[in-house]
Amino acid sequence: PIRIIDAVLSWEPPSQPNWAINVIKRTERSKQCFKGLKQCRSLVTPCNKLPKYEVPRTLYCHDMAGGYLNDKDVKGNERNDGFEFFRWSCIDIFVYFSHHLVTIPPLGWINAAHKNGVMVLGTIITEGARGEAIWSKLLNDKQLISKFANSLARICQYYGFEGYLLNVENPIPPSKMKLFCDFISILRVHLKSSNFENMVIWYDSVIYPIGSVYYQNALNQLNRKFFDLTDGIFLNYAWSDKHLEVTLNNAGSRKKDVFVGVDVFGRGCRGGGGFGTVEAVEAVRKWGLSVALFAPGWVHECCLPGEHFLSRDYKFWDYLCDHLYVQGPSFLPFKTTFCLGRGKKFFINGKLEKEEPWYDLNKQDYQISGLIGSHGTVDSCLSYNDEDGFNGGGSLLVQNFQTGPENSQHVDRLFVCDFPTKKGDKLIFSITTKPLLLNTHPKLFIIVAMEENNTDRSICLEINEPTTEVSAKGENCCVWATSEYDLETPSGRVYEIGCMLGGDKSPLLIGELNIVKDGRKSAK
């Protein structure tokens, strides 16, 4: 982070390359999304696809114990108790928040978000008397605010994130309000000069034109000026239905740019936070507005002795599932090991390389689109396994708890996606798996949902024999093996990929998934 104004004004890129050279570009996401995407479905149940531009968005604001904990380590560390987030498919914008003047998101968070197609914002914050002193210095002349804005945009460009949450929680003198608004405009112009998608989001604090800090909890005439100058507004948390009605009336065609604040710690917020957060999110969605979730790290930060973080995490996001819009990858080739970016072991090509705790969000891979559910209980059909993996810290465990005859066509969702295809294209799926238990013979079918001539259909792909063993006997004396599945496509698009257990339907680990396109015509 940058703590003092002079350090911002004098900022220059480091003379020696630093971690910024390791920032990856943000991947492309599907232009369609799916509301309330459950983990499982029947083979014959179609998805309810929605154009992404029509639906409200979800912002995740990460404020955890002051920020810059063990997530700040560029090369990771040897602890396995850090917080990791992997619900990227239902998030549009990730904000890294702290109470320093300029918060630069750590490398691990930038790369984990970018790998999953999510925008990352830093934070500019001024508070109290210290904040007043900062703006008193800046608002002396336009050249100084222009230099400040330019430095902030250059910092953003150098470190590879997409903009800022602007949080000014101190008064601005009315006589300086025009210059303050000029600063916001200049900052936005500089940010968008390097990437038009970069953004500034305003926090609902100072009011126009008198400059007092007066939280409105709605979009109205007292904060509309800042909404018009920026790409969106993050509303304060103490709103009512009347506030949301006023907001909708004032937002007009920009209602998706209003992010209604929901404090997961429950401070002044409907539902009381925690697992009651869903009450607030549901209320916001009824008005078609976007949501800003503040401090969802509550699931980790407030874990009690004897509680398991992931169980709390599953429960929290499962409650919210019906009000979230899920996206997935739209780029090929596509590859993932499902690694969460931490573990108690580390594997390379199925071989155990080290058996000690580690945490490194840079190593987090593309995460599944379905929200792993069942409130984190053991009867989740998909779960993360940290005892065995192919590459990284673990693998995905597929189990068949849906054993009734009505569930004979039970499909576990892996990814929603957007892969356009032409007639004669071939998609090749390579998947590396391993039985969880000795002397069992599970079989995996890949289920592909396609749209062709405005008609949806599901295709069940079977393995092209032979399967190739790709590791020696591993943790459970079973062998990792890679199977290949081919799909000769019509003209259309693939919008979902799932899997279905066959054979003796015993538990199976998935260590890696690769998808490539072969554009050559198939042999007649």
What does the pLDDT read at residue 40?
Answer: 65
Per residue in 137-148, pLDDT tens? Answer: 999 989 999 999
- Alpha-carbon distances, residue 224 vs 176, 187, 251, 261, 442 (angstroms): 18, 18, 9, 16, 59
Task: Answer with the residue of higher pLDDT: 382 or 158.
Answer: 158
What does the pLDDT read at residue 63?
Answer: 94
Domains of the chain listed by start with CATH number: 5-11+32-37+48-68+88-326 (3.20.20.80), 334-517 (2.60.120.260)
What does the pLDDT read at residue 377?
Answer: 47
Mean pLDDT of 415-422: 94
What does the pLDDT read at residue 522?
Answer: 40
DSSP-H helix ranges across 215-335? 224-229, 241-251, 277-285, 298-301, 309-320
What does the pLDDT read at residue 406?
Answer: 54
Q: How many CB atoms lie within 10 A of CB 380?
A: 20
Residue 284 contacts by C-beta under 8 Å, 6 or more apart in sequence?
Answer: 56, 244, 260, 262, 290, 291
Per residue in 8-33, pLDDT tens? Answer: 999 999 999 899 999 999 999 999 99
Check whether 375 has a pLDDT greater than 60. Answer: no
What distance in Å separates the CA atoms of residue 513 and residue 453, rounded to the nearest whole number? 28
What does the pLDDT read at residue 310?
Answer: 81
Mean pLDDT of 261-274: 95
Q: Do 224 and 209 touch, CB atoms closer than 8 A?
A: no
Per residue in 85-133, pLDDT tens? Answer: 999 999 999 999 999 999 999 999 999 999 999 999 999 999 999 999 9
Check whether 178 has a pLDDT greater than 70. Answer: yes
Per residue in 34-58, pLDDT tens? Answer: 988 766 665 555 567 899 999 999 9
Check whether 263 has a pLDDT greater than 90. Answer: yes
Check whether 73 has a pLDDT greater than 60. Answer: yes
What does the pLDDT read at residue 314?
Answer: 86
Nearest to 436 by CA among 474, 483, 403: 474
What does the pLDDT read at residue 309?
Answer: 83
What does the pLDDT read at residue 47?
Answer: 66
